[in-house]
A and B are shown apart, each in its own frame.
Chain A
Amino acid sequence: MKRPLTYLFLLTGLFFYAQQNNFSGGLYSVWQYYVADSVTEFAPPEGNWRSMNYFTLYYKKGNWELGTQLESYLPAGLLGYNPALKKYMFSNYYARYRQEHWDVTAGFIFEQFGSGLIFRTWEDRQIGINNGLVGVGIHYELPGIKLGFIAGNPRTAMKISDASVVAGDVRIDLETLIKKFPSIQLGFSALSKFEKPQTETLPATVQLFSAGTKIFLNNFDLVFEYVYKTPDALFFNGVLDDLVLFDGDAYLLNVGWSTKGFGTNISLRRAENIQLFAERKWSDNPYNTGILNYVPSLTKQHDYLLTNLFVYSARTNISFADRSVGEIGGQWDVFYFLKRKSLLGGKYGTRVAFNWSRWHGLKSEFIPDLHTYRRAFLEPGELYYQDINLEIKRKINKKFKTGFLVMIQDYNRQKIEGHGGMLHNFILVSDWQYRLKKRSSVRMEIEHLWNRQHEGNWLAGAVEYNWNGKWGVYTSDRFNYGGSKIHYYSAGISYNNQGNRLALSYGRERGGLICVGGVCRYVPPHTGFQISLSLNF
């Protein structure tokens, strides 16, 4: 216990020195104090406290960079994070050298090839992801050609895995290489993961290959990527299933067109058994520990209280228990600016955003005797999720702004949460913002959700008051009046200054999926206080 505190003190001392130059870094801390709640029957964990703390330090001089991070989970990670997150760890340590053509890193490597479908390592503290690769990363760049290479061992929770990963990437920019050629880029990547096989039938290595292109012509753009994964065993609920090995693949197509005042975009994806984990035992774990590639749910990331009750997370695996395989679907976005001083636009103009996403499993037939399945290539099977929404934002006058959202949602609880049926939700949101005087404002939102299948209707509201550009207080409530009659309330205060933030809140969390960037973490219901502190220098 004493040693890490000493470290913290030493690092604190460095803050002074850091003001000089070349150093930068920060501290991010979240503390939760849980209290028993008889309404939700929540019982706090032993000791009531949980906290997660990250202290980061970077040094930069000339072409050199050095960095490290001290993480601590006291006495363990917050509820809903991987229980393996405990005690202390030095992470994200690296040394990096960059010049015009070369970029070489040794230590923790955070990298993404293409859209990340083949390989992505990143840190996201909100969802407890840090799958950084400990090894080397090399980039070499010539006009029109970029080469990337990485090799190392991925981090899994508090450990550096014994499994190893080697990957390479080539990006070719034809516009630079060939005179008068349109803006077309090509990309190719390959990855190999080695894990000591647990049984004789298992392959020691699993490979991923990808090819893709990006095309930009005036207002039009197109992105396409294909990824193939070599056969590997399935792993369900802690049980290895090596009777038959299955390969996987993914197709991603994106087409966009935009001009001043208007933009639209369509994303389509078909994915089947494409997720890769550092070690087989981590397959489909709910904490995203050890994931090596990025398969986000391509749906709109909502920001209101009731639009985030039921969130979709991508489901691309093969499940013999569920008799489901893969995922196919897409998303369509339209952004439109109704001109100022027009009939519909009003004095200041009106902004309209439309989004429609729809995701299905692949139409499939399971053959238990042969322990295999047949699936259609493009034919959709069971519906997993649908979201059709329209958002309108309008400035009424210099002080007053409003927003309005209507949303229709179909949510397959059985497939997404593992139990329950299909939910059909209809949601209305109204959002008001009023500027009181210089740098003070009030914001209010009222929301309603209609549902007949699950917990019935919900009513929600939030009020927020900000003053002085630094302080903010809010209170919100989500009331499930059609079902459990439980209020999920929250209230808090925050202070912001010079990029630093301190926030304190108290509330009752309903629990559910918390998603950041389409990767989700399940949070159990809980009640209590939270303090978060974010400092940087």
Chain B
Amino acid sequence: MKIFVLSLTGWLFFSFVTLSPLPEGEILDLKANTHKFTQVVENGDKPVIVSFWATWCVPCIKELDAISEVYPDWQEETGVKLIAISVDDEKTARRIKPMVNGRGWTDYEIYHDYKGELQRALHITSVPYLIVIHKGKIVYKKNSYTPGSEEKLYEIIQNLK
């Protein structure tokens, strides 16, 4: 019975492509100034990629490394912007800034979900977790990174009208 309920709910979820509303949450920039999430992801009618990552998460770092190689081209062609929101807590939060600089991710906008508000609001149970926002709606979600999946992501961004 329980398994039936679970599989039913699972089926329902997997079979829908959703347009979810934007959550609200307070995030910090690298100088510990607070920002509202909904303001940070403002980009007119151009898309925004929001990547949730952590300094200890190897696939997250691989994904941000991979995108950073092609990011200038993406920006030029689609006007997309990438916001990398760290989910590190105080154990590792002090590593965010040196890691961002040390890996040369200086084109990204970096923030810190220091209270975990967005993780709760978006129901993020593991990172990497990536969403694409277009015209104020979440149009795509992805959790996990495998090499090459950034190409699929770019196809999705190119098709946004």
Contact = CB atoms under 8 A, between A and B. Distances in A.
B44 interface: no
Contacts of A466: 146-147
A535 B32 CA distance: 32
B148 A469 contact: yes
User: Which of B5, B106, B147 has most A Cβ within 10 Å?
Assistant: B147
Interface in A196-229: 214, 216, 221, 223
B90 A294 contact: yes
Nearest to B55: A301
Interface in B34-83: 34, 55-58, 62
Contacts of A469: 146, 148-149, 152
B108 interface: no
Nearest to A435: B147
Contact of A537 (B16, B88, B100, B152): B16
User: Which of B23, B56, B125 has most A Cβ within 10 Å?
Assistant: B125
B134 to A, nearest CB: 15
A324 interface: no
A146 B34 CA distance: 10
B32 A264 contact: no
Interface string A122-139: 110100000000000000
Nearest to A100: B36
A58 B16 contact: no
Contact of A498 (B17, B90, B115, B123): B17
A29 B125 CA distance: 10
B144 A496 contact: yes
B53 to A, nearest CB: 13
A12 B9 CA distance: 6
B123 A256 contact: no
B143 A501 contact: yes
Nearest to B142: A499
Contacts of B142: 496, 498-499
A419 interface: no
A361 B17 CA distance: 54
A333 B55 CA distance: 12
A56 interface: yes
Given A21-B21, A60-B24, A111-B115, A264 B148 contact: no
Contacts of A125: 125
Nearest to B148: A439
Interface string A277-296: 00000000000000000101
Contact of B104 (A261, A401, A502): A261
B151 A438 contact: yes
A262 B94 contact: no
B143 A499 contact: yes
Interface residues of B, number: 66
Interface in A330-376: 333-337, 349, 351, 353
Contacts of A48: none
A536 B123 contact: yes
A267 interface: yes
Contacts of B158: none
A472 B149 CA distance: 13
Contacts of A265: 94-95, 97-98
User: Which of A26, A98, A336, A499 has most B Cβ within 10 Å?
Assistant: A499
A502 B17 contact: no
Contacts of B23: 24, 58, 60
A84 interface: no
B115 A535 contact: no
A302 B125 CA distance: 19
A261 B102 CA distance: 4
Contact of A472 (B34, B103, B144): B144
A173 B33 contact: yes
A15 B92 contact: no
Contacts of A517: 88-92
Interface in B18-37: 18-21, 23-24, 31-34
A258 B102 contact: yes
A216 B149 contact: no
Given A303-B58, A435-B147, A256 B20 contact: no
B94 A256 contact: yes
A537 B117 CA distance: 17
A19 B18 contact: yes
A216 B12 CA distance: 49
Contact of A256 (B13, B98, B104, B129): B98
Nearest to A443: B147
Given A335-B98, A336-B102, A435-B147, 9 more contacts: A29-B6, A116-B90, A185-B32, A257-B98, A258-B101, A349-B104, A498-B17, A499-B142, A536-B141
7 contacts: A5-B1, A56-B123, A60-B21, A333-B95, A441-B146, A536-B123, A537-B20
